[in-house]
């Protein structure tokens, strides 16, 4: 039988770092990654046969758990009909109609294969629609690995960013402005200086790449006002939050707090593919019709709207619309977070946490962070020790303190209680 260690050694000989996405390498927490052999319901099973309660859920898509019967049936039927055609299918229309039914801010949607592709296409569309070049993003928000988005904050208030990856020339990010999340002062100054040149502002409304940090309602309100006032498009990146924090996604949560609120463009992924490679971006018809073949903004993809992926996504979206689905999922997720906070309090360990729908986060600090700097000031060493102690006890959390966690409909109350008991033991063993 192969071990996780032997597989990792073998992988590093043929794959850079031994992984096909960096966070999987466990570099942030140390140790050997687990190589997964199979999954079922709320559980992962590694190459050594060890079972884990899964709170990664393929980084969000597996909202129903692994191997949901309705999803498997839809995928199996689609596979028998053909893997890929390179031509339109009725199922693409059905999935688009389903997404638009659930997201009132969008009148048209374009299907693509990944969140990175959707985000970079939305930015190109915003630039093509406005005729402007500059874009605003926020430190700690991740929108994929497109060159213009791999940027860290500049040295001064509202200055343009610097590349965070080799291979990205400075001139590529010269139009990208990086601000601090939830910082109204920087937002005001950015628009005062550059408002007439800003094509769009892209934001994760609940930043899942800072673990779990909400955009404050006052910040979102002012962001909406400034974008409208200056003619910039507001882009909600809901790759992670879309149909995960609620059936109405994050924009629906803000619409309840800020009546009439809508983003101009939205980016979706993860849940809409149900675990298959699928993402989307959409908005009002007048903006979306700037896309080829009817408009001048070019975007294309051989596997966009893949018939197997759309079958998987459509089945997933149908299931999460069942009455009471999100009420039950949200309650189960809150019970996990509340339980973790109680266990930490018993152990005398500072911890804060938050959740929405099936998405959650926790921090080893007494107060919820508001932006990236505060996230990075939390106790990284304690997190790493806790992560490994939980892994040893059969609980698979995200292997980095800046990643959100996910609960699925397959998680039972017994799974939550087993997780909390593991946390109690892990914090005692510190």
| DSSP letter string, 82-141 | -S--SS--HHHHHHHHHHHHH-TT-SEEEEES-HHHHHHHHHHHHHHHHT--EEEEETT-
* Residue 397 to residue 400: CA distance in whole angstroms: 8
* Residue 240 to residue 249: CA distance in whole angstroms: 9
- Number of Cβ within a 10 Å radius of residue 171: 8
Q: What is the DSSP letter of 2?
A: -
Is 142 noted as a catalytic residue in this protein? Answer: yes
Query: Cβ(213)–Cβ(206) under 8 Å?
Result: yes
Pick the catalytic residue from 52, 137, 264, 270: 270
* Residue 31 to residue 384: CA distance in whole angstroms: 10
Phi, psi of 364 (to 5 degrees): -85, 75
3-state secondary structure of 378: coil
Pick the catalytic residue from 43, 55, 134, 237: 237
* Residue 59 to residue 271: CA distance in whole angstroms: 10
Query: Among 16, 21, 11, 14, which residue's Cα sits nearest to residue 47?
Result: 11
Query: Cβ(277)–Cβ(87) under 8 Å?
Result: no
* Residue 102 to residue 306: CA distance in whole angstroms: 21
Query: String of b and e for 277-301 (b: at least 16 CB within 10 Å)?
Result: bbbbbbbbeebbebbeeeeebebee
Is 137 noted as a catalytic residue in this protein? Answer: no
Question: What is the edge-to-edge ordering of all strands in the sheet holding 405-406?
Answer: 352-356, 359-363, 405-406
Pick the catalytic residue from 52, 55, 142, 402: 142
3-state secondary structure of 427: helix
What is the set of active-site residues? 142, 237, 270
């Amino acid at each position: 039988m192969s071990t996780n260690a032997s597989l990792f050694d073998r992988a590093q000989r043929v794959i850079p770092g031994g992984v096909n996405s960096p966070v999987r390498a466990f570099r942030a927490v140390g140790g050997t990654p687990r190589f997964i052999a199979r999954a079922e319901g709320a559980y992962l099973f590694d190459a050594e046969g060890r079972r884990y309660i899964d709170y990664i859920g393929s980084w969000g898509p597996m909202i129903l758990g692994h191997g949901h019967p309705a999803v498997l049936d839809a995928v199996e039927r689609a596979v028998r009909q053909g893997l890929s055609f390179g031509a339109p299918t009725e199922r693409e229309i059905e999935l688009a109609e389903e997404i638009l039914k659930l997201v009132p801010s969008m009148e048209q949607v374009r299907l693509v294969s990944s969140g990175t592709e959707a985000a970079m296409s939305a930015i190109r569309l915003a630039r093509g629609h406005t005729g402007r070049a500059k874009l605003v993003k926020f430190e700690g928000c991740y929108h994929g690995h497109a060159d213009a988005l791999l940027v860290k904050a500049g040295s001064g208030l509202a200055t343009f960013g610097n590349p965070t990856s080799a291979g990205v020339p400075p001139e590529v990010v010269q139009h990208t402005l990086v601000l601090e999340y939830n910082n109204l002062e920087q937002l005001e100054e950015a628009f005062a200086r550059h408002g007439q040149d800003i094509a769009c502002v892209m934001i994760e409304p609940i930043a899942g790449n800072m673990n779990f940090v909400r955009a404050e309602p006052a910040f979102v309100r002012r962001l909406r006002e400034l974008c409208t006032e200056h003619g910039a498009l507001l882009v909600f990146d809901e790759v992670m939050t879309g149909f995960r924090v609620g059936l109405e996604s994050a924009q629906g949560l803000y619409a309840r707090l800020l009546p009439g609120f809508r983003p101009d463009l939205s980016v979706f992924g993860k849940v809409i593919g149900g675990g298959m490679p699928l993402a989307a971006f959409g908005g009002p018809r007048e903006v979306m019709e700037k896309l080829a073949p009817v408009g001048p903004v070019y975007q294309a993809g051989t596997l966009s709207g893949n018939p197997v992926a759309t079958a998987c996504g459509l089945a997933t979206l149908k299931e999460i619309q069942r009455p009471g689905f999100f009420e039950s999922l949200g309650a189960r997720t809150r019970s996990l977070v509340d339980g973790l906070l109680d266990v930490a309090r018993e152990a005398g360990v500072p911890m804060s946490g938050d959740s929405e729908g099936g998405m959650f986060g926790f921090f080893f600090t007494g107060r919820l962070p508001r932006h990236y700097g505060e996230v990075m000031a939390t106790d990284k060493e304690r997190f790493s020790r806790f992560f490994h102690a939980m892994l040893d006890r059969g609980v698979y959390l995200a292997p980095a303190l800046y990643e959100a966690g996910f609960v699925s409909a397959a998680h039972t109350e017994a799974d939550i209680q087993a997780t909390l008991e593991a946390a109690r033991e892990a914090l005692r063993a510190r």
